[in-house]
């Protein structure tokens, strides 16, 4: 059979043996017939609170938090709709700041911001990148569980109202994206994020796809986000074509909870056993633009791969590892995956969480990568090159024998595969 794997701006076709291959996809959700109309209805009939028009008061300052270029949120559609809605109720550009929720990612260029928000929005409104390492741009709102200052962006905190936009998808250690994550880590200080994403929390069994309650990472994110003050959530859900399938607006936690259940019903897919080989993706661009993000796709595969099995991930990585990042520096410093774990047990590194998760997966399975990266770069990240996925599959089948089974996750972490009758090994 030919399986089309999400890859970059399109798909990558791979021939796999029919009798041995199980293809696992999320349940297809149709896009809304009139996206803008449904979006505006959600603002006026939100979940767990009154309509957005009643949140807006004369003279108050509004901060709209939006996701950066590593996320698939259709900002270019929903942000203009939101701004037009606010303008209709007397909230003009002079009262609005648009804040890019970078988390610890790099700042986006003006060209990228124009692509994200449209040139008209960038020209008419105040648009800022979050600065996670600038003390002058941060305000302390409390502390994390280990006593680290909980720092949030000053512009977000000085606003009278925060409108948190984004989209909800399964997340490999926060349970689901969206909701409180727009504030924490979206507009949080680096040291706050490093505390929350620390080795102990990342290693917790509940820091996993689809889990929020009892997940120490997500619960702390929620608690810090609530300290920010009045925040109205506007999250959407998407299908693989980036059509909007649902709009979840209103109370920061309640609207998010309802959206998460909607995603869970489509993303959760039961399987009857573990697989020797799992082929996955990082859901295509923009999610597969670098290797740092691609750990999410590896994590999706790790849920259903046998101990000693193999994961093959197709992730374009057009933006590299990325080069010069703390993630790349940690990978280069370590001799092998076990050394990564030893290093972060001794010292805290920026962005160590992705490397930690990759190394933990590699205790269970080998990881092969098909990407635009050179073989030397791939091996330097402690991964195995897979220039020809079908050929690698054939080699692995010869190694594992005639009973070996293959699973394919064409949409990668948009599918949460799980064992139907047993607890998953995390």
DSSP symbol at 47: B
Sequence-separated (6 or more) residues with CB below 8 Å from residue 319: 289, 290
User: Got the DSSP string for 326-351?
Assistant: HHHHHHHH-SSHHHHHHHHHHS--TT
Indicate if the pLDDT at residue 424 is higher than 50.
Answer: no
Indicate if the pLDDT at residue 181 is higher than 70.
Answer: yes
CA distances from 362 to 9, 82, 123, 384, 421 (A): 28, 43, 46, 11, 24
Tokens linked to 261: 């259940």
Question: What is the residue-averaged pLDDT of the chain?
Answer: 95
Tokens linked to 55: 């949140």
Indicate if the pLDDT at residue 423 is higher than 60.
Answer: no
Tell me the C-alpha distance between 181 and 274, whole Å. Answer: 31
Mean pLDDT of 413-423: 78
pLDDT band at 422 (very low <50, low <70, confident <90, very high): very low
Tell me if residue 155 is catalytic. Answer: no
**103 against 59, higher pLDDT:** 103
Tokens linked to 139: 């305000």
Q: Which domains can be identified in the chain, with CATH numbers?
A: 2-26+272-419 (3.90.226.30), 35-265 (3.40.50.11440)
Neighbours of 69 (CB within 10 A): 21
Q: Give the least confident one: 32-46, 175-189, 304-318, 411-425.
A: 411-425
Mean pLDDT of 279-295: 95
Preceding peptide of 322 cis, ω within 30°:
yes
Tell me the C-alpha distance between 180 and 182, whole Å. Answer: 5
pLDDT band at 420 (very low <50, low <70, confident <90, very high): confident
Tell me the C-alpha distance between 198 and 186, whole Å. Answer: 16
CA atoms within 13 A on the CB side of 289: 10
Q: Residue 407 in contact with residue 278, Cβ under 8 Å?
A: yes
Indicate if the pLDDT at residue 215 is higher than 80.
Answer: yes
Place of tokens 């697989």: 275
According to the model, what pLDDT value does residue 91 have?
95
Place of tokens 């727009």: 182
Ramachandran assignment for 317, one of left (phi > 0), alpha (psi -120 to 50 degrees), beta (any other) = left
Tell me if residue 105 is catalytic. Answer: yes
Indicate if the pLDDT at residue 5 is higher than 90.
Answer: yes
Mean pLDDT of 386-407: 97
pLDDT in tens, 109-151: 999 999 999 999 999 999 999 999 999 999 999 999 999 999 9
Indicate if the pLDDT at residue 399 is higher than 90.
Answer: yes
pTM for the whole thing? 0.90
Mean pLDDT of 232-256: 96
Mean pLDDT of 283-291: 94
pLDDT band at 421 (very low <50, low <70, confident <90, very high): low
Candidate list 171, 197, 256, 382, residue with the active-site label = 171
Cα 216 versus chain centre, distance: 17
pLDDT band at 411 (very low <50, low <70, confident <90, very high): very high
pLDDT band at 426 (very low <50, low <70, confident <90, very high): very low
């Amino acid at each position: 059979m030919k399986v089309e794997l999400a890859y970059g701006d399109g798909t990558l076709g791979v021939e796999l043996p029919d009798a041995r291959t199980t293809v696992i996809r999320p349940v297809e959700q149709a896009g809304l017939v009139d996206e803008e109309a449904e979006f505006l209805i959600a603002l006026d009939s939100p979940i767990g609170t009154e309509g957005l028009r009643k949140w807006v008061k004369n003279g108050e300052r509004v901060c709209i938090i939006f996701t950066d270029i590593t996320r698939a949120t259709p900002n270019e559609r929903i942000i203009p709709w939101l701004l037009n809605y606010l303008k209709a109720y007397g909230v003009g550009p002079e009262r609005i700041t648009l804040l890019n929720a970078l988390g610890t990612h790099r700042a986006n260029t003006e060209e990228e911001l124009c692509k994200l928000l449209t040139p008209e929005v960038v020209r008419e409104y105040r648009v800022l990148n979050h600065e996670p390492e600038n003390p002058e741009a941060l305000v302390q709102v409390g502390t994390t569980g280990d006593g680290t200052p909980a720092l949030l962006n000053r512009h977000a905190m000085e606003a009278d109202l925060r409108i948190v936009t984004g989209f909800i998808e399964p997340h490999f250690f926060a349970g689901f994206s969206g909701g409180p994550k727009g504030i924490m880590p979206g507009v949080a200080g680096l040291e706050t994020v490093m505390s929350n994403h620390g080795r102990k929390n990342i290693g917790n069994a509940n820091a996993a796809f689809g889990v929020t309650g009892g997940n120490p990472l997500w619960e702390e994110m929620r608690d810090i986000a609530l300290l920010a003050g009045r925040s109205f959530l506007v999250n959407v859900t998407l299908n693989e074509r980036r059509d909007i399938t649902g709009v979840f607006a209103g109370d920061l936690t309640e609207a998010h909870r309802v959206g998460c259940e909607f995603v869970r019903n489509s993303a959760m897919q039961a399987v009857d056993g573990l697989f020797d080989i799992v082929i996955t993706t990082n859901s295509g661009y923009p999610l597969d633009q670098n290797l740092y993000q691609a750990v999410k796709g590896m994590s999706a595969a790790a849920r259903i791969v046998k101990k000693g099995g193999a994961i093959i991930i197709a992730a374009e990585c057009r933006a590299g590892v990325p080069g010069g990042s703390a993630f790349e520096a940690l990978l280069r410093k370590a001799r092998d995956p076990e050394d990564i774990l030893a290093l972060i047990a001794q010292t805290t590194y920026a962005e160590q969480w992705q490397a930690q998760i990759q190394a933990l997966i590699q205790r269970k399975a080998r990881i092969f990568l098909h990407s635009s990266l050179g073989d030397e770069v791939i091996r330097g990240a402690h991964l195995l090159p897979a220039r020809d996925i079908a050929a690698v599959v054939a080699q692995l089948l010869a190694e594992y024998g005639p009973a070996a089974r293959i699973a394919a996750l064409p949409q990668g972490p948009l599918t949460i595969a799980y064992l139907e009758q047993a607890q998953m090994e995390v």
